[in-house]
Structure 1
Amino acid sequence: PMVNLEANQDSTLTQQANQLSTSTQQVKQDNTSTQQAKQDNTLTQQAKQDSMLIQQANQDCTLTQQAKQDSMLIQQANQDSTSTQQAKMDSLLTQQANQDSTWILWVTKEDNM
């Protein structure tokens, strides 16, 4: 009877040891899963930041293109202003030439009389 009792105790201890080993393995797997989840969360946060940086870069690119267009429009406006000033000067010169022509005709007419 004592042998059976010891054998039963050994069997119980073996089962408990196996359960502890299984529990230990489960805890290790849980820890590994937790670490993986933390890494996944970190990668998700990094992806969100990357997405925000890409959006910012796209906005910067759009603003740069707009600035280039604005610069071209300013250059065109400056050219238009220069052309307008030139046209005014041409008009004044034409008026002066017309006055000179009228004066020459009047002087010539007076000389012929």
Structure 2
Amino acid sequence: MSAEFILSFEDKDWYETHLEEIKQKIIGLKTFSVAEENEFRLAGNEPRNPGDWSYDVRLFLEKGRIFLEISAHPKSIERDLASLFEWIRSCTKISIDDEDGEPSGW
């Protein structure tokens, strides 16, 4: 079962004007796996078991927000997500909430 989070931007204009830069930051992550239109997948660098999913995280770049689906969070995924969120926070104010609207702690 996966956990779902919503990354919201206080300044929606910042998100829209920096969308390509956000995409490039995601693609530059060490755990980046594949992208299809506005869906980006991350896969941990740790050894995988046969039958495991081919990704650990899916990020959906939606209008005005980023929807995250986290299936697993090995250390490499935690590092990359923390790095991505830190970079975004250095540029603009964000909140990352769970599916119930509660702050996630990310």
Higher strand share: 2
Q: Normalising by the residue count of structure 1, what TM-score does the alignment of the two structures yield?
A: 0.18
Structure ID, larger Rg: 1
Which structure ranks higher in relative contact order (CA pairs < 8 Å, sequence separation ≥ 6)? 2
Q: Normalising by the residue count of structure 2, what TM-score does the alignment of the two structures yield?
A: 0.19
Higher helix share: 1
